[in-house]
């Protein structure tokens, strides 16, 4: 078993490297996409080759998405954008974004919210990514047969931890998949990037929290996110020393 600290440090280095490379790739990509669009309206040949044109644009956009995901593993804004945040409001927003997808996939959603969670000081866009990834994965795990997503929030008073669970009735995971969760680029999906959980784990680690998973093939999966309500002594909630 890999030591947790070593793993966390590795993830940090991989994240920073990946973000740098992704940043470099995005610029030429934008140029390619821009010139591709010129071909679209003007040339006759491009009209004939419409389907190839569309395919190229689609693939360019996919590379761009991967680059964005890679850049998000590292924390691009540092602690600059931290603000007091009500996590339940953020969850509500993220669920709203997915509403049409839920309807389309025949997924019912239940929320059991604590109602008076203490607010936490963090970068909203980072925690939004975590919630989006977990909700998106749950929805994808219930593709086809429909199902139920249950999101609950509680507050553990004794150690001041906010606990959020995402339970789905989707396809579940085998041992192999479970053991590899969070590894960059590990995906079982045809068009997956395998970066959603890598990024999410990194973000929760930055907050001094942790992510737990239980899953059973054919039954479903539960992700449990722990976020400390009060930052550790001498550290702010993004894991860096306060001045």
Instruction: Please tell me the distance from the alpha carbon of residue 63 to that of residue 200, in angstroms, as a whole number.
Output: 20
Are 154 and 111 in contact by the 8 Å Cβ rule? The answer is: no
Task: Scan residues 138-157 and list those touching ligand ADP (CB under 6 A).
Answer: 138, 141
| Residue 199: CB minimum distance to ligand ADP, A | 8
Q: Is 66 one of the binding residues for ligand ADP (CB under 6 A)?
A: no
Beta carbon nearer to ligand ADP, 141 or 227: 141
**The one among 75, 85, 129, 137 contacting Mg ion by CB under 5 A:** 137
Beta carbon nearer to ligand ADP, 27 or 68: 68
Question: What b/e readout covers 112-128, taking b as 16+ CB neighbours within 10 angstroms?
Answer: ebeeebeebbbbbebbb
Binding mask of the shown chain, residues 190 to 209, with x at each position contacting Mg ion by CB under 5 A: ------x-------------
Q: Is 229 one of the binding residues for ligand ADP (CB under 6 A)?
A: no
Q: Is 192 one of the binding residues for ligand ADP (CB under 6 A)?
A: yes
Q: Is 119 one of the binding residues for ligand ADP (CB under 6 A)?
A: no
Question: What residue 171 binds from ligand ADP, Mg ion, none (CB within 5 to 8 A, per partner kind)?
Answer: ligand ADP
Radius of gyration of the chain (CA): 20
Beta carbon nearer to ligand ADP, 12 or 180: 180
Residues making contact with Mg ion (CB under 5 A): 137, 196
């Amino acid at each position: 078993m890999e030591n947790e600290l070593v793993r966390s440090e590795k993830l940090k280095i991989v994240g920073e490297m990946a973000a740098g490379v992704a940043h470099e790739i995005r610029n030429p990509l934008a140029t390619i996409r821009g010139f591709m669009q010129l071909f679209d309206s003007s040339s006759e040949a491009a009209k004939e080759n419409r389907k190839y044109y569309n395919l190229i644009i689609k693939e360019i956009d996919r590379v761009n998405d991967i680059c964005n995901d890679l850049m998000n593993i590292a924390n691009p804004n540092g602690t600059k954008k931290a603000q007091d945040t009500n996590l339940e409001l953020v969850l509500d927003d993220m669920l709203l974004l997915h509403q049409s997808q839920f309807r389309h996939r025949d997924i019912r959603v239940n929320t059991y919210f604590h109602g008076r969670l203490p607010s936490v000081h963090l970068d909203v866009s980072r925690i939004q990514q975590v919630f989006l990834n977990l909700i998106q994965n749950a929805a994808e795990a219930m593709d086809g047969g429909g199902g139920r997503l249950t999101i609950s929030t509680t507050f553990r008073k004794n150690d001041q931890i906010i606990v959020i669970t995402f339970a789905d009735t989707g396809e579940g995971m085998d041992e192999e998949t479970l053991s590899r969760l969070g590894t960059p680029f590990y995906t079982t999906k045809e068009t997956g990037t395998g970066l959603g959980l890598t990024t999410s784990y990194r973000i929760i680690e930055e907050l001094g929290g942790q992510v737990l998973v239980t899953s059973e093939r054919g039954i479903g999966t539960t992700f449990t996110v722990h976020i400390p309500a009060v930052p550790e002594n001498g550290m702010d909630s993004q894991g860096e020393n306060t001045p």
